[in-house]
Amino acid sequence: MSSLLPSEKAFVPFVSVANMMRLVHHIGIETLLSELTDVIEADFRRWESFDKTPRVASHSGEGVIELMPTSDGEIYSFKYVNGHPKNMAHGLQTVTAFGLLAEVSTGYPVLLTEMTLLTALRTAATSAMAARHLAPKGTRTMAMIGNGAQAEFQALAMKAAVGIDHIRLYDIDPQATAKTVRNLSGMGLTVTACTSSQSAIEGAGIITTCTADKSYATILTDNMVAAGVHINAIGGDCPGKTELHRDILLRADTFVEYPPQTRIEGEIQQMDADYPVTELWQVITGHVTGRRDANQITLFDSVGFAVEDFSALRYVRRKLGGTGFYQDLDIIADPDEPRDLFGMLLRAEQA
């Protein structure tokens, strides 16, 4: 497979934050989220073709730094990502990331890009994909508990891919809710700011929890969750960090990305090792039924998996062609004679 971009093989297309924002607006935010949902779903349909491993994590008292690799045998990808909830107090992002695509056949990288924005986009698209298969049919209202950096992306992905038109918001920080209300103004959604989690989930067919504290938290208790709802739990994504009371999991049918990772990082870390879960790809391919009836509680225990990053990187690479929204980086030493790396170095001094 050769590069889709007009670059020499020694140059790697790099998408900066500024160019990623240009690309998003060039495509259109909702169009991008809808297309990305479809691209991720297409890769979930060929789930068995991917190398899979739990992400490589370096934990500290301050947060976590992770590498997330995968390959389908033709393309290799990885993402570097951190999660540091205390960063907000210092005016820093909780999550930052960058990612890379490479050709398996040569080992040469073919794309390097920021992934702080792209991770927010692919996380929202993955949530929408899960809701499309698991949420009650005809659902128009979603509750968003936790109104931080991910909130608007989640809302717009649900609008674009699922048909949600009403968002009910709650955050322990009223300023976070006010920010989200402001940013979603004019986006074609009815947005309601609520004063508690309980009031936010009233009438909602989908409940999305996305909080940042690295702790065993109880954002939802069992008595709050009515029959028939779908829950996207996306804030609990590392050991020692959860959002739901375990009694909710005892009532729900739980769907996950990759069980060996989710049992370490997700809501199900609270449960016994034999707690039953269903892999989401099996629902998407029709091997397993997702939502069976109107009273079933479905839970997508999402921690984020490398295949989703692979999909997002591949999508960006395809969309870059003809846009100019990238720079060529000279990061691959490529002498005219492959065995003469030292000679290339000598000639550089003479030049």
Residue 86 reports pLDDT greater than 90: no
Distance of alpha carbon 316 from alpha carbon 20, whole angstroms: 9
The dihedral built from the CA positions of residue 37, 38, 41 and 42, taken in this order, carries a sign that is: negative
In a shared domain, residues 158 and 45: no
Residue 237 reports pLDDT greater than 80: no
Q: Which of 9-18, 211-220, 266-275 has the highest mean pLDDT?
A: 266-275
Cα 135 from chain centre: 18
Q: Compute the average pLDDT of residues 62-88.
A: 93
- Which CATH number belongs to the domain containing residue 222 in this structure? 3.40.50.720
Q: How much of the chain exceeds pLDDT 90, in percent?
A: 83
Structural domains counted in the chain: 2
- Report pLDDT for 219: 86
- Report pLDDT for 212: 67
Q: Compute the average pLDDT of residues 61-89.
A: 93
| Residue 188 lies in domain | 133-304
Mean pLDDT of the chain: 93
Residue 98 reports pLDDT greater than 90: yes
Q: Compute the average pLDDT of residues 65-91.
A: 94
Residues 6+ apart with CB under 8 A from 152: 180, 183, 184
Distance of alpha carbon 171 from alpha carbon 195, whole angstroms: 8
SS3 of residue 3 by DSSP: coil
- Report pLDDT for 230: 98
Q: How much of the chain exceeds pLDDT 70, in percent?
A: 95
| Residue among 38, 165, 213, 237 flagged as catalytic | 237
- Report pLDDT for 59: 86
Question: What is the full DSSP assignment across 103-120?
Answer: ETTT--EEEEEE-HHHHH
Q: Compute the average pLDDT of residues 72-80.
A: 98
In a shared domain, residues 165 and 223: yes
Q: Does residue 257 belong to any structural domain of this protein?
A: yes
In a shared domain, residues 43 and 168: no
**Structural contact between residues 124 and 33, judged by C-beta atoms closer than 8 angstroms:** yes
In a shared domain, residues 137 and 54: no
- Report pLDDT for 61: 86
In a shared domain, residues 195 and 294: yes
- Report pLDDT for 4: 40
- Report pLDDT for 211: 84
Cα 315 from chain centre: 14
**Structural contact between residues 309 and 122, judged by C-beta atoms closer than 8 angstroms:** yes
In a shared domain, residues 315 and 224: no
In a shared domain, residues 291 and 222: yes
- Which CATH number belongs to the domain containing residue 28 in this structure? 3.30.1780.10
- Report pLDDT for 239: 78
Distance of alpha carbon 243 from alpha carbon 235, whole angstroms: 7
Q: Does residue 294 belong to any structural domain of this protein?
A: yes
Q: Compute the average pLDDT of residues 303-320.
A: 97
Q: Does residue 4 belong to any structural domain of this protein?
A: no
pLDDT tens for residues 6-58? 344 678 999 999 999 999 999 999 999 999 999 999 999 999 999 999 999 89
In a shared domain, residues 288 and 312: no
CB atoms under 10 Å from CB of 143, counted, come to 27
Residue 238 reports pLDDT greater than 80: no
What's the pLDDT band for 298 if we cut at 50, 70, 90?
very high
In a shared domain, residues 289 and 315: no
Active site residue 237: yes
- Report pLDDT for 214: 57
Distance of alpha carbon 55 from alpha carbon 57, whole angstroms: 6
- Report pLDDT for 215: 60
